[in-house]
Structure 1
Amino acid sequence: MIISRFAPTPSGFLHHGNALNFILTWTLVRVAEGKIHLRIDDLDTDRTKTLYVEHIFRVLEWLGLDWDEGPFSVAEFEAAFALKHRLAYYEEAKQTLLKHPLAYACECSRKEIMAQSSKGIYLFICKEKNLPLHVNTTALRVHVNPTVCEEAPRVAKEMGDFIVWRKEGLPAYQLASLMDDWRMGTTLIVRGEDLHLSTLAQRYLAHLMRAPSFLEAKVLHHPLLLDEAGEKLSKSARSSPVEFASSPAPLYRHASMLLGVFPCENAIDLCGALLQKEESPLSAFFL
């Protein structure tokens, strides 16, 4: 069975790029008669707010999309699915990595890293220091050995040794995303093409943690929606949020184009159009 997820972050109001990802994920999974989880990734504790969580549910309702597992309201999210309910298995993953010979503690600040590399690529500054891992003073990194797997050379070149546990005592995105997908048995991940390097980093981490089921998952990267200046939509750039007074039809037409079917203006029609295609809808994307 195909198992996938919506994985929005409640660190700001969702924009049309997030909504497009929801449409593509839902359509591909429903055509395959699979299962969708709603996984709200509230790792950014400083910026997570209840009104942003509420906005996620409203966007999904506006789009007319359903899901099978996960919270169905803000109250249910806070009662059973928020970060505090997931910390135990993140902690277990951290303890596993602490025993790995390629993991090490790092005390470097972002400013120090940028001084070493203008692109922010970590250059092993703390690798041989044998520092202890302590909250507020050190983060946990993994060394990227280019010989470990086929993804490793590019990760080493473009990202360097990356953080898996933050100084604040919380998991970093690469570890948390891997653990969540591994735990829920995800077999299909639909992401924007801007997350391609993150996918490679997570696959590298899966090799280190011996997570073969994650490595078997299909990961599809779709083109991004751009603003009038040609920049990608993002919360950090304060892209305009979804406005519920407007129609989602233009997003469905854009999704139709990406999937190679005639223009559709709602979820049911798009799903039906995709079912009529002879070739696999997954061929519209790339790894």
Structure 2
Amino acid sequence: MKRVRFAPSPTGYLHLGNARTALFNYLYARHENGKFILRIEDTDLERSKKEYEEMLIEDLKWLGIEWDEGPDKGGEHGPYRQSERLEIYAKYVDKLLKSGDAYFCYCTEEELEAEREKAIKEGRPYRYSGKCRNLTPEERMDYEVKGIKPVIRFKVPDGEVVAFEDLIKGHIEINVNEFGDFVIVRQDGMPVYNFVVVIDDALMGITHVIRGEDHLANTPKQILIYKALGFETPKFAHMPMILGEDRTKLSKRHGATSVRALKDEGYMPEAVFNYLSLLGWHPKDEKEILSKEEIIKQFRIEDVNKSPAIFDRTKLRWMNGVYIREILDIDTITKRAVEFFEGFGYIADYDYYKKVMEAIRDSIETLMDIKERAKPFFVDDFPYTQEIIEEVKNSKAYDVVKAFYEKIKDKEEIKKEDFKEITKQIQKELSVKGKELYHPLRLALTGESSGVGLDLLVEVISIKRLKHRLERFLEYFG
């Protein structure tokens, strides 16, 4: 069975690049009827925080990504937090030391810096000299007596070329002389990423490692550790980077770059799932709006592009608007919108929110748009701008609003059909039409020059509030 994993570090919000990595692993597992594992890489004790882990899990679930094994679900390959696996790592460090594939290194930072400076002066890439490779027991004891704490380095075979077939990038070869002996355990005794990830992936039966191409330089080091420990090497797939529209690495200057930020901006998880799946992959039929099931059915890791993906915020907004207008049911949208209504100070009951959403859903792209689009349904005592004042003075606006008020003042309710019939009557009586007819009513009822259809507005707000707005207008301009 094919097994993949997503292994984030809980040091911040879930970045969109990491979210896509999680998504592609999830899609691969579901397409192949395999298993998807969530593992938390929290060996950076200073930066890793429990609250970030909780937010990572929340954000993944919000996106619609589920896992088969993980810290919150358990499984036969746990624990699923690296901080709880230190005894396991220690056993394999000891194995490498005994086999001679790893050694203690007592070089100080000053010595290493001197090596780096020498390499720079000689115009060659720096790699550790290996001076501690063959220390005698007596030499090691001298360092210990001096209180020098060692790191543990992996002994890289001289001159070897590591070759592998990347499922996305194709054949790759890297000469180990490019990096030399590397650290696998720090001075404080904490094992480093390149070592623990191999142990975890091997013991958890990971068959395919799908990750960003920024990890490509780590892959040959990890393959060497797999071989030294006698583990089977998984297949690798390195996805291209996600760039901003200016073709630079996606960062905060491009706007919201975390899943949490998109959620807070009122994006639908289904739309974000759909959009992220198209960052570097596309279905054979070139469709852009696809359900989770359709994406899973068509997804193949071999079809992922080699070139970088461009994060197009305008396209994401468009896609989100499609989900709001055409795909999601009104109750789903309304339930998600409640916190936005309340956050903007628009307080009402659920049924009223639902009516408002039905009226405005065709004109919004994210739930943040509610602030402006829903305002006419909640704000009765809006100001009249100087522009409105001038327009009313120099037109039939007052007469139109007065005529409309006279026709509804004795009514107990008004429907869309009533609004259309009344405006037809006014059109004939005052010889006004088009903007000359509807614009005065919009100014009186919303204080704005454009916005929601007035027939929708009058049907949603109460007749009492409708009359209040008209009376207020007539009193002000009378």
TM range (shorter): 0.7 to 0.9
Q: Indicate the larger mover: 129-138 or 80-89.
A: 129-138
The amino acid across from 1:200 in the alignment is: P
2:44 corresponds in structure 1 to: 44
Conserved? CA contact 2:185–2:192, under 8 Å: yes
Alignment partners' CA distance in 2, 1:187 and 1:99: 27
The amino acid across from 2:92 in the alignment is: A
2:128 is aligned with 1:129: no
Alpha-carbon spacing, 1:46–1:151, altered in 2? closer, same or farther (3 Å): farther
Matches within 5 A, 1:136-151: 137-146=149-158, 150-151=162-163
Q: Post-superposition shift, 1:127?
A: 2.2
Alignment partners' CA distance in 2, 1:21 and 1:34: 16
Alpha-carbon spacing, 1:5–1:13, altered in 2? closer, same or farther (3 Å): same
Conserved? CA contact 2:64–2:273, under 8 Å: no
1:219 corresponds in structure 2 to: 236
Query: Could you tell me the percent identity over the aligned residues?
Result: 29
Matches within 5 A, 1:267-286: 267-274=292-299, 280-284=300-304
1:85-118 per-residue CA deviation (whole Å, 9 max, x = no partner) reads 2112101101101112232111235564344235
Conserved? CA contact 1:3–1:29, under 8 Å: yes
Q: Post-superposition shift, 1:80?
A: 5.2
Q: Post-superposition shift, 1:11?
A: 2.0
Q: Compare the two structures and name the one with the higher helix fraction.
A: 2
2:280 is aligned with 1:258: yes
The amino acid across from 2:67 in the alignment is: W
2:192 corresponds in structure 1 to: 172
Aligned-CA RMSD value:
3.2
Alignment partners' CA distance in 2, 1:11 and 1:56: 10
Q: Post-superposition shift, 1:42?
A: 0.7
2:239 is aligned with 1:208: no
1:57-99 per-residue CA deviation (whole Å, 9 max, x = no partner) reads 12201211100011227x99xx954334211210110110111
Alignment partners' CA distance in 2, 1:110 and 1:230: 37
Conserved? CA contact 1:151–1:203, under 8 Å: no
Please, which runs of 5 or more residues in structure 1 have no aligned partner? 275-279
Q: Post-superposition shift, 1:183?
A: 0.4
Alpha-carbon spacing, 1:25–1:285, altered in 2? closer, same or farther (3 Å): farther
Alignment partners' CA distance in 1, 2:127 and 2:226: 21
Q: Post-superposition shift, 1:148?
A: 5.2
Alignment partners' CA distance in 2, 1:183 and 1:26: 20
1:177-205 per-residue CA deviation (whole Å, 9 max, x = no partner) reads 00000001000110101111211110011
Q: Indicate the larger mover: 149-158 or 202-211.
A: 149-158
TM, length-normalised to structure 2: 0.51
Alpha-carbon spacing, 1:228–1:51, altered in 2? closer, same or farther (3 Å): farther
Conserved? CA contact 1:256–1:270, under 8 Å: no
Alpha-carbon spacing, 1:285–1:189, altered in 2? closer, same or farther (3 Å): farther
Alpha-carbon spacing, 1:102–1:84, altered in 2? closer, same or farther (3 Å): closer
Alignment partners' CA distance in 2, 1:137 and 1:234: 38
2:437 corresponds in structure 1 to: none
Alpha-carbon spacing, 1:82–1:186, altered in 2? closer, same or farther (3 Å): closer
1:87 corresponds in structure 2 to: 86
The amino acid across from 2:154 in the alignment is: V
The SS at the match of 2:90 is: helix
Alignment partners' CA distance in 2, 1:188 and 1:259: 18
Conserved? CA contact 2:161–2:176, under 8 Å: no
Alpha-carbon spacing, 1:98–1:139, altered in 2? closer, same or farther (3 Å): same
Alpha-carbon spacing, 1:158–1:230, altered in 2? closer, same or farther (3 Å): farther
The SS at the match of 1:45 is: coil
Alpha-carbon spacing, 1:84–1:222, altered in 2? closer, same or farther (3 Å): closer
Larger relative contact order (Cα-Cα within 8 Å, sequence gap ≥ 6) = 1
Q: Post-superposition shift, 1:240?
A: 4.4
Alignment partners' CA distance in 2, 1:24 and 1:37: 13
Q: Indicate the larger mover: 153-162 or 84-93.
A: 153-162
Alpha-carbon spacing, 1:124–1:230, altered in 2? closer, same or farther (3 Å): farther
The SS at the match of 1:70 is: coil
TM, length-normalised to structure 1: 0.82
Alpha-carbon spacing, 1:230–1:104, altered in 2? closer, same or farther (3 Å): farther
1:4 corresponds in structure 2 to: 4
Query: How many pairs were matched up?
Result: 272
Conserved? CA contact 1:27–1:271, under 8 Å: yes
Alpha-carbon spacing, 1:155–1:48, altered in 2? closer, same or farther (3 Å): farther
Alignment partners' CA distance in 2, 1:49 and 1:155: 37
Alpha-carbon spacing, 1:250–1:83, altered in 2? closer, same or farther (3 Å): closer
Alignment partners' CA distance in 1, 2:244 and 2:162: 34
2:203 corresponds in structure 1 to: 183
Alignment partners' CA distance in 1, 2:251 and 2:102: 31
